[in-house]
Chain A
Amino acid sequence: MNSFDAFKDPALCRSLLARLTEEAQTPMRFMEVCGTHTVAIFQSGLRSLLPGTITHLTGPGCPVCVTHESEVAAFLELAGRDDIIVATFGDLMRVPGPKGANLKTASAEGARVEVVYSPFDALALAKANPGRMVVFLGIGFETTAPTVAATIRLAREQGLDNFLVMSFHKLVPPALRALLADPEARVDAFLLPGHVSAIIGVDPYAFLATEYGVPSVITGFEPLDILQALLHIVHMRRDNIPRVVNQYSRVVPEHGNHKALAVMAEVFTPVDALWRGLGVLPQSGLAISDAYAAFDAFKVLGITLKDHPPLPGCRCGEVLKGKMPPNECPLFAKACTPATPVGPCMVSTEGGCAAYYKYRLEA
């Protein structure tokens, strides 16, 4: 067994689970805010094995899901222009916008939409199509933002003039603050996203413990990581010493990844941003900085966000705040399934509704 495989070791997991069950006497509600944690907790079977005192809430950790209705409408408007090639991560293809439109239907109607695996592939697309403007849809948290920033910097170094980015990037800490500031929030502890933290480090979460007294653990994605994080939380609650613990130190450096942070700071600038369900959150998004304005699709193409109401009937907004479990949405598994998704939380495999649907037999 190599040193990383040990994190999946069933014997260790069973012992840790037994310890957790023994020690978790006080009821607690923990929230994870990372699509990969959502999937890991269901897929590993942990969710059904957790002691009855521990309630798992899934929060605003799916980047596709938190993309606001107005932002979806803006990129669909963009796809409708005939001089544009839209480059996007595949997850966005079926995210529903106004009147049931999505990138897939747009593409059936003649829009040119290319699915890419990396923002860097979008750059290659621009080079291969010198006569067209390639616009990459920049969606994601702090894990993705530096990859997009590095790509924009490369575009400038290479003198490309047909590559733009529509930046909808969002930042995790301001969303956590918004969740806790909500008087109806009932979150006792957070599991913090391992790969977002690999970029930003530990410090940006300090307020969770110091201002809100909410114990939180940065953790990885193996069953052992998650179980150990929960045990840390149980101990912090028992001792009444809330802290931010870095359980995932094999990947997360205390002060983050300075190279990634530097390119983000060079290319992007923090702005107030719109989140589905959470509304406008101060300094929670990343727009392209003035120095790189020539790559900003909003500025170059003159696109602005227009008001759009929530999708009719979809309760994604409440699901993302942990206020409603997906299976309590009246449309869940009826009108809304992964084959016929009404909202983005059912589209993305990392969405709370999709995870509940896929694993509902065991849940």
Chain B
Amino acid sequence: MCLAVPMEIIGIADNVADVEIGGVKRQVRLDIIDEAPAVGDYVIVHAGFALRRLDRADALETIKLFQEGLNLELL
């Protein structure tokens, strides 16, 4: 029940967003998300509410650090 999954925002109307992942569509409320998301953003969804926007730049940075640390090239 604690499951929270990243889903992509495909539409926003007032305080409700349409989100999708792998063909599964849902509506989620935006009452408690702290940064207003935009269409195309990924958000962490839990119990019908969007909790947080995933930070793409930060994700890339984390992956870069992995690769540098491991001397790897990203495919």
Chain A residues within 8 Å of B, Cβ to Cβ: 1, 3-4, 6-7, 9, 11-12, 15-16, 19, 34-36, 61-64, 89-92, 117-121, 139-141, 143-144, 146-147, 150, 153-154, 193, 195, 198-199, 224, 228, 247, 249-253, 257-260, 263, 348, 350
Contacts and interface: CB of A to CB of B under 8 A. Distances in A.
A150 B58 contact: no
A228 B66 CA distance: 8
The 4 A-B pairs with the shortest beta carbon distances in the complex, nearest first, are: A118-B48, A250-B58, A150-B31, A195-B4
A119 B70 CA distance: 44
A277 to B, nearest CB: 18
Interface in B1-31: 1-4, 6, 29, 31
B31 A154 contact: yes
Contact of B55 (A92, A247, A251, A259): A251
A258 B4 contact: no
Contact of A348 (B1, B59, B63, B70): B1
B29 A150 contact: yes
B39 interface: no
Contact of A89 (B1, B6, B52): B1
Contacts, number: 138
B55 A249 contact: yes
17 contacts: A4-B59, A6-B63, A19-B70, A36-B3, A63-B2, A119-B48, A120-B49, A140-B47, A143-B4, A143-B46, A198-B4, A198-B52, A228-B66, A252-B52, A253-B34, A257-B34, A350-B1
Given A4-B54, A250-B62, 9 more contacts: A4-B59, A11-B72, A34-B2, A36-B2, A89-B47, A150-B31, A250-B54, A252-B52, A257-B32
Contacts of B47: 89, 117-119, 140, 144, 147
A34 B46 CA distance: 14
B65 to A, nearest CB: 9
Given A147-B49, A154-B31, A140 B2 contact: yes
Interface residues of B, number: 33
A141 B2 contact: yes
B46 A260 contact: no
B62 to A, nearest CB: 6
A179 B49 CA distance: 31
B58 A249 contact: yes
A73 to B, nearest CB: 20
Contacts of A4: 6, 42, 54, 56, 59
A259 B33 contact: yes
Contacts of B2: 34-36, 61-63, 140-141, 143-144, 193, 195, 350
A263 B31 contact: yes
Given A6-B74, A195-B4, A146 B48 contact: no
A218 B75 CA distance: 27
A117 B70 contact: no
A260 B63 contact: no
B48 A15 contact: no
A348 B3 CA distance: 12
B66 A12 contact: yes
Contact of B46 (A139, A144, A154, A348): A144
Nearest to B26: A117
B25 to A, nearest CB: 13
Contacts of B66: 12, 16, 224, 228
Contacts of B67: 12
Contacts of A6: 59, 63, 74
A9 B31 contact: no
A265 B8 CA distance: 29
Contacts of A154: 31
Given A15-B70, A250-B58, A260 B4 contact: no
A163 B4 CA distance: 25
Contacts of B3: 35-36, 350
B1 A140 contact: yes
